[in-house]
């Protein structure tokens, strides 16, 4: 099926394969799945309208190599819609990692999804990132992870302390 043909299913394998392709093309150093889809790795499924791929740039300049990433994916049939790259009708954001999110990429869990090797943020990092952002939906995500994920409390405390973060009142 051509890469820009809308899919009835969520085309996550295509997203992960493309991220691996960016590493192979030396456009990024490393990457991991973050955001809602990473949370869903640990909690019940819920509706989300995009995928967040956090990457460690190979290009340490101001643009983090984003123009080259867009050009590479567009040459493979991906489309651009505002801040998203779109594959099979599903929007994907490529976000340059730094600080806490860079640590989350480096320490992400290795998984395989439909035969595609991938990395997904650890639950403790997802909680810490949500605590650092602090919107209402981030508080809901923290609550969901605390209730449903098998969190390593010591690891979470350590991350929160090192990044000077506190869990919000729930």
Partner 1 sequence: MKLEMRQKLAREPFAEKIRKVGQLIRLAKTFPRRAAKSPPAAK
CB 107 within 8 A of CB 101: no
In the complex, minimum distance from the CB of residue 126 to partner 1, in angstroms, rounded to a whole number = 13
Beta bridge partners of 30: 56
User: With respect to partner 1, which residue has the nearer C-beta, 68 or 118?
Assistant: 118
For partner 1, the closer of residues 19 and 56 by Cβ is: 19
The CB-of-43 to partner 1 minimum distance in angstroms stands at 5
Choose between 5 and 25: whose C-beta lies nearer to partner 1. Answer: 5
Binding site for partner 1 (CB under 8 A): 8-10, 12, 37, 40-49, 111, 113-114, 147-149
Residue 116 C-beta: closest distance to partner 1, Å: 11
Smallest distance from the beta carbon of 15 to partner 1, in angstroms?
Answer: 11
Q: Are 86 and 92 in contact (CB under 8 A)?
A: yes
H or E stretch at 170:
none
Strand order, beta sheet including 116-120: 79-81, 84-87, 90-96, 51-57, 28-34, 116-120, 109-113
Minimal distance, residue 144 CB to partner 1, in Å: 8
Smaller CB separation from partner 1, 68 or 141: 141
Ramachandran class of 158: left when φ > 0, alpha when ψ lies in -120 to 50, beta otherwise: alpha
The strand ranges marked E within 68-120 are 79-81, 84-87, 90-96, 109-113, 116-120
Looking at the Cβ atoms of 12 and 27, the one nearer to partner 1 is: 12
């Amino acid at each position: 099926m051509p890469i820009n043909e809308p899919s009835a299913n969520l085309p996550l394998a295509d997203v992960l394969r493309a991220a691996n392709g960016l590493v192979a093309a030396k456009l990024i150093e490393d990457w991991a799945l973050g955001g809602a889809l990473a949370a869903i790795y640990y909690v019940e499924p819920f509706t989300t309208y995009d995928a967040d791929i956090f990457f460690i740039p190979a290009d340490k300049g101001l643009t983090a190599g984003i123009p080259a990433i867009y050009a590479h994916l567009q040459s493979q049939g991906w489309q651009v819609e505002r801040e998203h790259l779109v594959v099979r009708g599903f929007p994907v954001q490529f976000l340059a990692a730094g600080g806490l999110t860079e640590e989350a990429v480096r320490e992400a869990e290795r998984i395989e999804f439909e035969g595609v090797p991938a990395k997904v943020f650890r639950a403790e990092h997802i909680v810490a990132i949500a605590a650092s952002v602090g919107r209402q939906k981030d508080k809901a995500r923290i609550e969901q992870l605390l209730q449903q994920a098998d969190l390593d409390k010591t690891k979470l405390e350590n991350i929160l302390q090192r990044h000077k973060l506190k869990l919000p009142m729930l």
